[in-house]
Structure 1
Amino acid sequence: MNQTYRISGKEHIPSLPVSNGFYGDGNNHKIEKYNNYTSKDLTVYIYYYTVEEPDKQIEIPLLPVE
């Protein structure tokens, strides 16, 4: 996933990139954040992505912002 967004009402709110780690070595990672989001769960939608494992399903824990 290259960038995600969340929906609030009719507004699409993009994530803010914190770090990128796309090196093409199969161990890609990226950290994004959503400012002022305080709920425990969040549904995110994907803007851009590439597929290495099309049948894989992922869950990502939300970490508290310090």
Structure 2
Amino acid sequence: MAIQGWHASPRRDAEVLCDGRTGEVRIPLRLMHVDTPQGDVDFVLSGSEAAVLLERLTLSVGGAR
């Protein structure tokens, strides 16, 4: 269920962090309502979750060309 007007965008002022020991990946996001920033949050994934997401994004973007 989508909430009208809300989305999250990658923060341009922060880097994605990866913990080499655990494989955890932190993606800094900015929460937005329409075009108004509402706050910042980290999207945290395990290494295996990040690998699955990368695979799906690669297939999606590759298929859109």
Instruction: Tell me which interval the TM-score lies in, with the shorter structure as reference length.
Output: under 0.3
TM-score, structure 2 normalization = 0.28
TM-score, structure 1 normalization = 0.28
Structure with higher helix content: 2
Larger CA Rg, structure 1 vs 2: 2
Relative contact order higher in (CA < 8 Å, ≥ 6 apart): 1
